Amino acid sequence: MTRCVARELVEGSGVDAERLVDLLVERAVAEVGNYYYYTLLRRHLVGVEGDALRRVIDDAREEDRNHFEALVPRIYELGGRLPAVPATALGGLSGLRDLPAEADVPQILPVLLKAAEESVRAYTELCSVTSGKDHRTYNLVLAILHEEIAHQVWLLEFLGRGAMEHPARPRELSPFVTQFLHAPRPVALKSVSCPA
Ligand code: ZN
């Protein structure tokens, strides 16, 4: 069996690599599920409140896509693979796909908030699993955690103030995760194929 150096290093530092990869894959699938659901939801939001919530969702949607793209390279470095899943099996919010023609904002907000809380919980767990052991994954999941907390704050602010102005673009999206996007492929890992 070929060696997977990144995985060996992580295991050597005391992390259960298999569990870590499972958690990372779960999050990656949830992120793309959120992106999918947000893309549908934004088409169903109407009225002043709907327009305002759409601005929040648009920013969260772009950042969740970035989270997915930032997670994938680390999953592959650790010898993990993403499952080829049909859209119906996506995690995150996509299980709630039966959208009415006009989404009811008061009804949809608790669902979005619950998903945001779940994301914060999951990335907090990933920080705990990797803290002081797997610095590379820790830095990544901490960066995503910062942005997931921001999503939660946007929704809570919306809930508190109604159709308030969400900071209009251009504003910086993914201020914490950008550093992990478009990173050069690690040369040392090219010659090493990890077990599927
Ligand atoms: Zn996310």
Cα(190) to ligand 1 centroid in Å equals 28
Residue 85, pLDDT > 50, answer yes
pLDDT-derived band at 194, boundaries 50, 70, 90: low
What's residue 189's pLDDT? 47
Check residue 51 and give its pLDDT.
87
| Token duo for residue 87 | 């859209």
| pLDDT digits 0-9 by tens, 132-182 | 999 999 999 999 999 999 999 999 988 887 656 666 555 689 999 999 997
d(CA 163, CA 165) in angstroms, rounded, equals 7
> Are 129 and 20 in contact, with CB atoms under 8 Å apart?
yes
| Tokens matching residue 178 | 């950008």
We find that the CATH architecture of domain 5-181 is: Up-down Bundle (1.20)
When computed from its CA atoms, the radius of gyration of the chain, rounded to whole angstroms, is: 18
| Residue environment code for 85-98, b if the CB has 16+ CB neighbours within 10 A, otherwise e | eeeeebbbbbeeee
Find the 27 Cα to ligand 1 centroid distance in Å: 8
Indicate the pTM of the whole model.
0.83
For ligand 1, the distance from its centroid to the CA atom of residue 149, given in whole angstroms, is 9
Q: How far does residue 31's CA lie from ligand 1's centre (Å)? A: 5
Task: Write down the pLDDT at residue 195.
Answer: 55
pLDDT tens-digit map of 1-39: 457 899 999 999 999 999 999 999 999 999 998 998 899
Distance, CA 21 to ligand 1 centroid (Å)? 17
Ligand 1 centre distance from Cα of residue 81 (Å): 19
Residue 45's Cβ-count burial label (10 Å; 0-12, 13-18, 19+) is buried
